Amino acid sequence: MPPARPTSGGAFDEARVVRELTELETQISSPDFWKDQASAQKTLQRRRRLEDQRVLAESLRKQSDDLAVLLDWAKHGEDVSADLGPALKRAIAVVKRGEPALVDVVTQVR
């Protein structure tokens, strides 16, 4: 298992998203949820946006973990060149679909 990687320190708070989704699900399951149609629609839209954020976070975390494994293998002398090409092709395909992709670049002074 590769060592833990530092986070970007960005503004995304996945725990907050999960908490808010849980709260929204409680509201949605309430028998009175549909009494105010406009409010119900806004709540469902908010849930959809939060779900999208959660899925994106999971995807980026998986990509980051996969790249961390390749980096760890490379640090220990493994030839990862055969894995890098397909990983980059997958990342390019994701970007072409209009979604963010994570590509980790490590440079060394030679």
Indicate whether this model's pTM tops 0.85: no
Q: Higher confidence at residue 100 or residue 72?
A: 72
pLDDT-derived band of residue 87, with 50, 70 and 90 as boundaries?
confident
pLDDT-derived band of residue 2, with 50, 70 and 90 as boundaries?
very low
Three state DSSP letters for the chain: CCCCCCCCCCCCCHHHHHHHHHHHHHHHCCCCHHHCHHHHHHHHHHHHHHHHHHHHHHHHHHHHHHHHHHHHHHHCCCCCHHHHHHHHHHHHHHHHCCCCCCCCCCCCCC
Q: Higher confidence at residue 23 or residue 88?
A: 23
pLDDT computed for residue 24 by the predictor: 96
pLDDT of 74 higher than 60: yes
pLDDT of 22 higher than 90: yes
Give me the chain's average pLDDT, please.
81
